[in-house]
Amino acid sequence: AAAARRPRVLKMLTPAFFRDREAYLVGTLRAAGHELPVVFALLHTERGITIDAVLAGREDMRNVLFVSTRSTFSVAVEQYRELLRIVDSLAPDRGHPAMCAVIGFTHPARVALNHRLRDHLRETGERFESTPGRAGTAMIVFAPPSFPYVFKVVRDYSTKVGWKGRGRIMENYRWVHQMNRGRLMLDAWLYRNLPFPRECFDEEILSELLEGAPNSVRLDGGSVVLGHVYAQRRVRPLNTFFEEERDHALRERAIDAMGMFVKDLAGLGFFVGDHYGLPSNTGLTHGLNVALFDFDDLAPLLRFRFRETPPPPPGYDEDSWNAERDGSWFHVDEDDVLVDEWERFIGIPLDLRAFFLARHGDLFTLAYWNEVRRRAARGKLHFVLPYPPERRLGVPYP
């Protein structure tokens, strides 16, 4: 009874946090000696402004609100350092650089991460080395092994089919940084002319950088200068997850998240051209959502033509047909997607195939993609809810 009579104090920050169609009031609830982060998600309806959802606790702050896979907030504040001190305390696991970026202060975020990186190199004795996983065909990716961010340099040349050049890759990264990422794409911060002592680099990765990206990396005396490099939060690539994870329930959650990622991305009007390499270009976030971290094949959905494999010509015999001698019976352009063939190449583990087909088998039908294209052509784009449906208070979302 005494505990029930203890005062509860709700403190709210004065500025609202705006992002896309969203607005939030952020604060803390103090009761019984404990402080709980609390956020009210606001919605503008015909009845006026209402509270659509309530987020509470550090997990919601870290995995739902202050995430690097959505657009940055717009916050009207004069003393941003004081604001940062408060929001840092709401989601301390996110890290100060990430929180700077999430609330729109990208330059302070880059400065903070640069300091953190140099402190990490000095304190741990680690060096930059290649990151685990499949080597990128468009980017060279490297980092100190235990650092929570990776660093990416665009290759000058690539043997990748459809390679559009270094400038096109850089333009895509700039495009993604400025867009509504809808919880589906990691942000990347651009640095220019960052010098590091040569001894901070493993010789193998240094050789690869100098040979593969001479327009972005150079030697200057005893220093390695990264003339053009992106920093991006480290996530676990999906293909690595499926190779290492044995918990079947987690595997099902991850493959379901991959299917939802494809659908949500299409709903926003985008598609990944290198769909065969999807598990290598996407990763799992802390909240077990799937996010894209390679943007070189990201393009507007309406650029692609979704087709089914046409039937073979009369007299076709699979055993005797020689493609070099007889040619192909149909032509596939660079932007053609054969939806009935996609299932074989998208990277679904065999033990999860039936589960994926039950949940997302419509992805391999022409009818699904024709409808998505029709909606995109009419401007009917899907808005991905930033918070789980169970956090909502029953107000219909438009």
Q: How many whole angstroms separate alpha carbon 59 and alpha carbon 159?
A: 42
Q: How many whole angstroms separate alpha carbon 21 and alpha carbon 42?
A: 10
Identify whether the C-beta of residue 184 lies closer than 8 Å to the C-beta of residue 265.
Answer: yes
10-residue stretch averages of pLDDT, the chain, 398 residues long: 64 90 90 87 84 90 86 85 88 86 88 96 97 85 96 90 83 88 90 96 96 95 96 93 94 95 93 82 88 91 89 66 60 82 86 96 95 92 79 66
Whole-number pLDDT of residue 261: 94
Give me the active site residues, please: 187
145, 151, 154, 160 alpha-carbon torsion, rounded to 10°:
40
The answer for 260, left when phi > 0, alpha when psi is -120 to 50, beta otherwise, is alpha
Q: Can you read off the two tokens belonging to residue 259? A: 């299917």
CB atoms within 10 A of CB 101: 26
Whole-number pLDDT of residue 398: 47
Q: Provide the whole-model pTM.
A: 0.86
Q: How many whole angstroms separate alpha carbon 92 and alpha carbon 69?
A: 18
Q: State the residue for tokens 């959802």.
A: 53
Whole-number pLDDT of residue 397: 47
Whole-number pLDDT of residue 245: 93
- Amino acid at position 88, single letter: D
Whole-number pLDDT of residue 32: 77
